[in-house]
Amino acid sequence: MPPTLNLNLNTKAKTGLTVFIVLAVLLIAALSIYVDLRHRARNRSAATATATTSTPPTSNKTFKAIDLLAFNGTDPAKPIYIGYEGKVYDVTAGKDFYATGGDYHWLAGKDATDALHLFGGDIIKNKYPPVGTIIPDPSGQTNTAQVPESLTLLLQQQGAPAK
């Protein structure tokens, strides 16, 4: 006779097994609900974090034009600021352009409104976060970026570069 599995369990054992299976299923269900809720919570906090970081930081900092000089890209420990149309932009992320030795270091730490009206104003507005506003200086000191002669010549010969 071939061997067969003897499943002739008595009633007590059957009840025990059923209870065990039901409890196991309940446990697995509870665990998956818990894991699902944890994921949702994590996704929610990640979404909130993204929303917070993607919103441009609003700042009520005020600067006289001359105050910007302290943020002209010569000190790597400080942020780099440019004034444009009454606002102050943090251009530190573009330090290759604006720190010492950069092509546009001459714009850094200045009110560069006039120069940026010739070229680049939209880039500044769209690429960098505003961090404050420029207020009038009762002492009348100005701090305006002067377009270098080499660029003035290029602009005269070639016009503004294509955007």
Q: Please give the residue ranges that form the binding site for ligand HEM (CB under 6 A).
A: 94, 97, 104, 115-116, 118-120, 123-124, 127, 147, 151, 154-155, 158, 161
Least distance CB 147 / ligand HEM (angstroms): 4
Least distance CB 87 / ligand HEM (angstroms): 14
* Overall size of the chain counted in residues: 163
- Residue placing its CB nearer to ligand HEM in the complex, 68 or 115: 115
Least distance CB 156 / ligand HEM (angstroms): 9
- Residue placing its CB nearer to ligand HEM in the complex, 119 or 133: 119
d(CA 132, CA 87): 6
Give the residues across from 90 on adjacent strands.
81
- Residue placing its CB nearer to ligand HEM in the complex, 24 or 118: 118
Helix or strand or coil: residue 88? strand
Q: Which residue's CB comes closest to ligand HEM?
A: 120
Least distance CB 141 / ligand HEM (angstroms): 22
- Residue placing its CB nearer to ligand HEM in the complex, 31 or 93: 93
CB atoms within 10 A of CB 16: 12
Geometric angle at alpha carbon 34, from 33 and 36, rounded to 5°: 65
Helices within 55-112 (DSSP H only): 95-98
- Residue placing its CB nearer to ligand HEM in the complex, 19 or 149: 149
Residues 6+ apart with CB under 8 A from 95: 73, 80, 102
Helix or strand or coil: residue 129? coil
Q: Which residue has the tokens 């700042």?
A: 59
